[in-house]
Amino acid sequence: MNKIALVDDDRNILTSVSMTLEAEGFEVETYNDGQAALDAFNKKLPDMAVLDIKMPRMDGMDLLQRLRQKTTMPVIFLTSKDDEIDEVLGLRMGADDYVKKPFSQRLLVERIRALLRRQDAQAGEIVADSEETKVMERGELRMDPLRHAVSWKGNDVSLTVTEFLLLQALAQRPGFVKSRDQLMDVAYDDQVYVDDRTIDSHIKRLRKKMRTADDDFSAIETLYGIGYRYNED
């Protein structure tokens, strides 16, 4: 049974969403501020966290930043309807996805399931002799899907599930262009719609992380109006 941490200062959301998730077979822990959640996470991490952004004591952005220092577990942000800046910042800081308030609880459940399925696959719980599970080496890049491990020039790089899947999709065929729609299909289920900005934010975050291993990293090329391409030196 997957454990989901729900962090929001709105008690109505905590109550209604936790009831829905429990009915769907999840174990749910609820927290009404970021500091309470962080204190609990320091003892034991859940399988996924769903975070509101604006909360007392410690907001969702600060909590995410601290989480990304120690874990790549999937994180979904709950954002205000018109707060696009928070959406972009959240993705750039390492969130895997976001859902706008007010939201369909069915949509939230589907996004949670989609990210958990991908995490399980990367962790090796779904093992098959395929291109998706073999260790891949492309020049200075090495990716081990079953261990969710990435290195560049021998330096480890910590990626979220979504970032890993996007890099894997691009690097599998160096020199070939992947459109944003194709990358959406890789990172999200068919029933989950995301816009172009979401993919762009993930790619920006991915590049930033790769540059922690190499300031001159430039293997991911943007083709404006078309998509992205991985270039193998």
Query: Domains of the chain: which residue ranges?
Result: 3-123, 136-230
For residue 57, the model assigns a pLDDT of 87
* Side chain identity, residue 141: L
For residue 126, the model assigns a pLDDT of 46
Q: Which residue has the higher pLDDT, 64 or 111?
A: 64
Check whether 30 has a pLDDT greater than 90: yes
The Cα–Cα gap between 3 and 206 comes to 27
Among candidates 47, 57, 61, 58, which has minimal Cα distance to 6? 47
pTM value is 0.64
- What does the pLDDT average to over 23-30? 95
**Residue percentage of the chain with pLDDT more than 70:** 87
Check whether 187 has a pLDDT greater than 60: yes
Among candidates 182, 190, 161, 164, which has minimal Cα distance to 229? 182
* Side chain identity, residue 212: T
Tens-digit pLDDT profile for residues 101-149: 878 888 788 888 878 877 776 665 444 445 556 789 999 999 987 777 8
pLDDT category of residue 56 using cuts at 50, 70 and 90: confident
Domain 136-230 in CATH 1.10.10.10? The answer is: yes
For residue 123, the model assigns a pLDDT of 60
- Domain 3-123 classification at class level: alpha beta
